[in-house]
């Protein structure tokens, strides 16, 4: 589990094929800020742009670690197979950590497209077109994770192409995450609020008869 509060910005330093066919995944080498890996161990979970991955090797002195990403995960995420991609990094939540954002699973629900990213006053307006299938989970003042960052929805607009989500970014967020490198047309990983997921599931089930308490 994660909170959507980014703890470091990394970069894909190398990409290695795990096989010759499209059914094979990749091994990624990720560079990190200095000392970021001081408390990391093999098997730990680190979210890369919102996608939970497992550390299979690391070198704390050289500030890099490796993960294996399957072909399925590559198909369901954005920009996780390109050398040079800037990454939002977050280590897995500990029981005694502050829940500064919202509960994030690290499972990408869909890929969105940035329709606008522009500075307005001291802040930045980020508009993302989310796939139509995610529209029912998005709400005004609700939470959404964009490339691993916990953000608040300021406005939504349903269109035939999907749901346009408007988000306000303060300068601190732009300066301390990889969101500052976004531009119109950028693909982003989206995760909906966990609570919305369960609410939709409960509302979709229509029992044929009222549930009875056990006798």
pLDDT of residue 204: 85
Indicate the burial class of 45 (C-beta count within 10 angstroms; 0-12, 13-18, 19 or more): middle
Cα separation, 61 vs 105, whole angstroms: 29
Cα separation, 69 vs 56, whole angstroms: 11
pLDDT of residue 215: 65
User: Which residue do the tokens 């977050």 mark?
Assistant: 90
Q: Where in the chain is the domain with CATH 2.40.30.20?
A: 8-91, 110-202
Q: Report pLDDT digits (tens) over 156-206.
A: 999 999 999 999 999 999 999 999 999 999 999 999 999 898 888 888 887
- Which H or E run contains 194? helix 194-204
Q: Report pLDDT digits (tens) over 73-127.
A: 999 999 999 999 999 999 999 888 888 899 999 999 999 999 999 999 999 999 9
Global pTM value: 0.92
CATH class, domain 110-202, is mainly beta
The more confident residue out of 215 and 112 is 112
CATH class, domain 8-91, is mainly beta
Cα separation, 130 vs 108, whole angstroms: 12
Q: Has residue 69 got a pLDDT over 80?
A: yes
* Contact between residue 102 and residue 3 where contact means Cβ atoms under 8 Å apart: yes
What is the rounded average pLDDT of the residues 40-45? Answer: 97
């Amino acid at each position: 589990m994660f909170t959507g509060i980014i703890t470091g910005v990394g970069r894909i330093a190398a990409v290695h094929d795990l096989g010759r066919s499209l059914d094979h995944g990749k091994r990624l080498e990720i560079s990190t800020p200095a000392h970021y890996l001081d408390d990391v161990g093999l098997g730990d979970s680190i979210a890369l742009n919102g996608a939970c991955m497992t550390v299979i090797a690391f070198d704390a002195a050289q500030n890099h670690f490796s993960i294996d990403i399957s072909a399925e995960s590559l198909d369901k995420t954005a920009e996780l197979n390109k050398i040079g991609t800037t990454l939002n990094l977050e280590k897995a939540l500990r029981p005694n950590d502050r829940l500064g954002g919202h509960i994030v699973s690290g499972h990408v629900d869909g890929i969105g497209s940035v329709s606008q990213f522009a500075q307005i006053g001291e802040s930045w307006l980020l508009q993302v077109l989310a796939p139509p299938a995610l529209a029912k989970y998005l709400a005004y003042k609700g939470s959404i994770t964009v490339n691993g960052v916990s953000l608040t929805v300021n406005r939504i607009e349903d269109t035939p192409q999907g749901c346009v989500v408007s988000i306000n970014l303060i300068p601190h967020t732009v300066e301390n995450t990889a969101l500052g490198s976004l531009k119109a047309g950028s693909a982003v990983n989206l995760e909906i609020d966990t609570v919305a997921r369960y609410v939709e599931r409960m509302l979709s089930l229509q029992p044929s008869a009222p549930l009875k308490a056990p006798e």
